[in-house]
Structure 1
Amino acid sequence: MLFDTHTHMDAPQFDEDREMAIKRALEAGVTRMINIGFNRETIPSTMKLAETYDFIYAAVGWHPVDAITMQDEDLDWIASLCSHEKVVAIGEIGLDYHWDTSPKDVQHLVFRRQIELARELNMPIVIHNRDAHEDIVKILREEKASDVGGVMHSFSGSWETAKMCLDMGFHISFGGPITFKNAKQPKEVLAKVPLDRLLIETDSPYLTPHPFRGKRNETAYVKLVAEMAAEIKGLSFEELARITTQNALERFGI
C-alpha cells in the first residue's frame, strides 16, 4: 500500500501510454497519488485526472518558475478549486533560484499570496524549493505557514533546514534522489526525520530513481523509493509503506 504524494501524470511525457503507466502504478501497490497542477496549462489536466480516477487527488497552485505569469484571476481560480472534493492542497508553490524565468521579488510575492490564501482556506501547502533554502524558511515563518503546515516536496536541503521546517509543522518528502549512490545528504536527513513526518514521492516524470536514472520516471517507481527509505530507517518495506501512507492520508485529510 503505497502513496505517491507528488506526481505529474498529466505531463506530455505520458501522452502515449498514460493509462498503462497508471496501471503499472496500481500493479506496483500504489493505492493513491496526488497529481500537481501548477500553472494555467497543468491545473485543468490535473483536475481531469482527479475526476477520472478515484485514487488520484489534486494539488493546485502556481509554480515559482511561472510566477511572472500569475494574475489576480488565477489566484481566484485556485481559491475556487480548493472547494472541490478531490483538491487536497495548494501547491506546488515556493521559490526556484535555479531557472532564471521569474524575478525573485515576483516569486516572493506570488509565494506569499498563496500562503495567505492557504491560511484563509485552511489548506496545507506543497513547497517547491530549489537553491532557496534560507528565503523559503524566512517567508514560511513571516507568513505564519505553521498555521496550515504542508509538505517540503523532494527535499534536498540540510538537516538544519529540515529541522526548521519540521518545527513549523511540515512533513518532509523524499523521492528518487535518495536511491542515488552519491546522495549522501538526502540519506542522512531522511535517517533523522521522525517517522510520523516522513512522506515518499516520485515527482514523475522527473528525478527517476536508480536503476532507471536517466529514463522517464513514473509513479510505479515510488516502490523503489520506499525500499530505499525502509533500508535507511531499518524497517521492513511493508512497515515503511504503511507508515508513509498513513502519514499522507492524515496530512492531506483523505
Structure 2
Amino acid sequence: MAKAPGRAASAVRLFDAHCHLQDPRISAVAPSLIRAATDSGVARFAVNGTSEKDWHLVKQMGQEHPAVVPCFGLHPWWVPERSPDWMDSLRQFLSETPEAAVGESVMQIGLDKGSHGKTIDFGEQVEVFQRQLELAKELEKPVSVHCVRAFGDLLEILKRTGPFPSGVLLHSYLGSAEMVLGLANLGCYFSLSGFLTGMKSTKAKKMLKAIPLDRILLETDAPDALPKLDNVSLVTVPVDTSDADTEKCDIDSTSPAISSSNESLNHPSNIHIVLSYVASLLEMPEAELAELSYKNASKLFSYPGSKVHL
C-alpha cells in the first residue's frame, strides 16, 4: 500500500502541517531531519511550540530554516505549568514572528480529556483554550488544535466563539465522519497523521470521504505518530532512552528503517507514508493528493500569499 520515502518521492511537494522538531528527543538532529525530508520533497514544516519553555527554540528554528513555519501555543498538557504572564509572552512571540500561526498546543491549542496520564482540570483547559482562540481572532492567526476525547466540547466552543477569521486546523484528526460537516462549516481543516493507521480502515475511509477536498492536510506530528503499517519501510529516529542526554544522540537520520532496541521516533520524511495511506483510502492518485494538500496548507498558513478570511 504505502511506499518507503526517498529521493524518488521528490517529484511531489508536501507541506507537513504539524510537527514538533524542537522536541528535546530530536532537537539536536533536527537540521539533518529537515534536510532529509526536504530532499524527499517536503517543502514546508509547521513546527509547533507547546509551552513557554520551547517557544524560543521554535522561533530560532524558523530563523535558521526558511522551510520552517514557526507556531506558538500552550498545549493542554502544559496548562498547569504556565506562568502568570504567559499570554503576554505568547503575544510577544507572535508579534515578533509575523508569519507564525498560533500553534495547536496553544493554542495547542487544545482540549485533552486523556491528558497523557496527567490529571489536568478540564475547566482550566477550556479557559486557556478560549483565551487563545480570542487572541487568534484578534491577531487574525490560524489555530492548530489538539483534541483528544473532547470533540463534542470542541464543537460547542467553536460554535459559541466563532467564526474564525483565518481558519482552524484540527491536527491528527481522528474524530467521527458524522462530526466533519459541522466542523467544516465552522471553517475547520482536517490534518491526517500516522495515527490514522491505528483506526479501523473502514471507519477511517468513511471519515476521509466526509472531508471536503479543500480542507484536507497532511502531517507527521514527528517525533510522534509513527505510522503502524505492515510491509512498509519507515524512516525512524532511534533514541537510546537509557541515555539521559538523548539530545546528543549521534545518528544518521537520512538512513531508512534505522532500528533501535529502545525507542524509535517518527521522521518527517514519513509524511510520504501518510500520503500513500490516505490516497489509497480516498482512491486518489498520490500526486493529486500531495498537490491538493500542499495548496490547502499554503492557504491556511498564508505561506505564501495573503490571508483568506473564512
User: TM-score scaled by structure 1?
Assistant: 0.93
**In structure 2, the residue corresponding to 1:216 is in which secondary structure?**
strand
- Alignment of 1:46 onto 2:62: no
Q: Distance in 1 between matches of 2:44 and 2:80?
A: 32
User: Which residue of the partner structure matches residue 102 of structure 2?
Assistant: 89
The answer to which structure has the higher helix fraction is 1
User: Which residue of the partner structure matches residue 201 of structure 1?
Assistant: 219
User: Which residue of the partner structure matches residue 308 of structure 2?
Assistant: none
Q: Is the 8 A contact 1:65 1:101 kept in 2?
A: no
Identity rate of aligned residues, in percent?
27
- Alignment of 1:144 onto 2:162: yes
Q: Is the 8 A contact 2:180 2:210 kept in 1?
A: no
Q: Is the 8 A contact 2:222 2:266 kept in 1?
A: yes
- The 1:66–1:248 alpha-carbon spacing in structure 2 relative to 1, beyond 3 Å, is same
Q: Distance in 2 between matches of 1:155 and 1:235?
A: 19
Paired letter, 2:98: E
Q: Is the 8 A contact 2:47 2:69 kept in 1?
A: yes
1:250 to 279, 286, 299: 299
1:69 to 70, 81, 89: 81
Q: Distance in 2 between matches of 1:16 and 1:66?
A: 22
State the shift of 1:145 in Å.
4.5
1:160 to 178, 188, 198: 178
State the shift of 1:16 in Å.
4.7
State the shift of 1:159 in Å.
1.2
Paired letter, 1:64: P
User: Which residue of the partner structure matches residue 195 of structure 2?
Assistant: 177
- The 1:144–1:181 alpha-carbon spacing in structure 2 relative to 1, beyond 3 Å, is closer
Structure 1 stretch displaced more, 154-163 or 180-189:
180-189
Q: Distance in 2 between matches of 1:29 and 1:101?
A: 40
State the shift of 1:223 in Å.
0.8
2:148 to 130, 141, 160: 130
**In structure 1, the residue corresponding to 2:35 is in which secondary structure?**
helix
Paired letter, 1:112: Q
- Count of paired positions: 254
Query: Based on CA coordinates, which of the two structures has the bigger radius of gyration?
Result: 2
Q: Distance in 2 between matches of 1:177 and 1:15?
A: 22
Q: Which runs of 5+ in 2 are unaligned?
A: 1-12, 237-262, 304-310
Q: Deviations over 1:13-48 (max 9, x none)?
A: 214532221121112210101000010222111111
- The 1:181–1:85 alpha-carbon spacing in structure 2 relative to 1, beyond 3 Å, is closer
- Alignment of 1:227 onto 2:276: yes
Structure 1 stretch displaced more, 45-54 or 172-181:
172-181
- The 1:20–1:182 alpha-carbon spacing in structure 2 relative to 1, beyond 3 Å, is same
- The 1:185–1:72 alpha-carbon spacing in structure 2 relative to 1, beyond 3 Å, is farther
State the shift of 1:148 in Å.
3.6
- Alignment of 1:35 onto 2:52: no
State the shift of 1:161 in Å.
1.9
Q: Distance in 1 between matches of 2:157 and 2:276?
A: 34
Q: Is the 8 A contact 1:58 1:88 kept in 2?
A: yes
**In structure 1, the residue corresponding to 2:111 is in which secondary structure?**
strand
Paired letter, 1:247: N
- The 1:147–1:181 alpha-carbon spacing in structure 2 relative to 1, beyond 3 Å, is closer
Q: CA RMSD in A?
A: 1.8
Q: Deviations over 1:202-224 (max 9, x none)?
A: 10111111344973112110011
State the shift of 1:183 in Å.
4.3
Q: Distance in 2 between matches of 1:95 and 1:219?
A: 25
